Chain A
Amino acid sequence: MQIKVDPSVIGQTRWYEYVVRFLFGGLITAVAGSIAKKFGAGIGGLFLAFPAIFPASATLIEKHEKQKKEEKGLRGMRRGREAASVDAAGSVMGSVGLLVFALIVWQFAPRYSTFMVLTGATVAWLTVSVLIWHVRKRA
């Protein structure tokens, strides 16, 4: 299956849906910082991998897929659920990359420049996630 960029999705998303994700993202980042301040880095660090906007994104995918089906005069409930499920399965693969990201930051942050470590860790997250996705598609 080929990877494609579909810009039409931008038009389907309402302005308040962007706002909701911004608020959730901002909120969890601020809360993660406050938790770390109050309970220490050990507890605060857990929240760096909190599924911050997962509910908002899954709901959006479900809604968009449902709408697409309904525009064709079909019931889209099942399609919407399936799309959200497939998206979540993709996130499972991405979460392995997230683990690698954390491992790299843990090991290298005290020794190298922050920019270099975060850039390297992000590239590693993407590489590992995409590799797993490819292996799963071929299997």
Chain B
Amino acid sequence: MSQILVRFLVGGAVVSAFAVVGDLLKPKSFAGLFGAAPSVALATLGLTVVTEGASYAATEARSMMAGAIAFTAYASFVSWVMMRYKLKALLVTICSIPLWLGVAFGLWYIWLR
């Protein structure tokens, strides 16, 4: 339980820090780079090495590559839809999450299983 709480607090702080840096920067296309910052990974991997060992963290990082490719597909789709259709950002970003899940798990199944 305490480990989950630590992950929650560290994760919240790291993710928020990268988000604030992104907010401060202009132009928006450059600020967007920080939307794909390795914030969750930074908050998680250090703790994982301590609790589970470096090999376990390396296995997580290998799967993270599939997650990153899924992120590329997700962000490309969101960008395209937002430019083309008159839809709210919240609706598009939430409804596109299954795309991330599909690509990430699809790649894991084909490539990493």
| Chain A residues close to B by CB (< 8 Å) | 1, 3-7, 9-10, 13, 18, 21-30, 32-34, 36, 41-62, 77-78, 80-99, 101-103, 105-107, 109-110, 114, 118, 121-122, 125-126, 129-130, 133, 136-137
On chain B, the residues within 8 Å of A5 by CB distance are: 24-26
> Which residues of B from 52 to 109 have beta carbons under 8 Å from A?
52, 54-72, 74-76, 78-80, 82-83, 86-90, 92-94, 97, 100, 104-105, 108
The main secondary structure of chain A at its interface with chain B is: helix
Q: In whole angstroms, what is the CA distance A41 to B67 when docked?
A: 13
Nearest CB in chain A to that of B74: its residue: A51
Contact flag A118-B45 (CB < 8 Å), given A45-B61, A55-B93, A92-B72: yes
On chain B, the residues within 8 Å of A9 by CB distance are: 23-24
Q: Pick the residue among B32, B56, B66, B74 that contacts A89 (CB under 8 A).
A: B32
Count, chain B residues at interface, CB 8 A: 86
Contact flag A91-B63 (CB < 8 Å), given A10-B23, A42-B113: no
Nearest CB in chain A to that of B46: its residue: A114
Q: Which of B12, B42, B55, B59 has the most CB of A within 10 A?
A: B12
Q: In whole angstroms, what is the CA distance A102 to B46 when docked?
A: 13
Are A125's CB and B37's CB within 8 A?
yes
> Which residues of B from 12 to 35 have beta carbons under 8 Å from A?
12-16, 19-20, 22-35
- What are some 26 contacts across the A-B interface (CB < 8 A)? A1-B27, A3-B26, A3-B27, A6-B26, A10-B24, A13-B23, A26-B7, A29-B8, A29-B11, A29-B12, A33-B44, A41-B57, A48-B61, A50-B40, A54-B35, A58-B35, A80-B89, A86-B28, A92-B32, A94-B34, A94-B36, A95-B68, A95-B72, A103-B61, A109-B55, A110-B55
On chain A, the residues within 8 Å of B110 by CB distance are: none
Are A7's CB and B72's CB within 8 A?
no
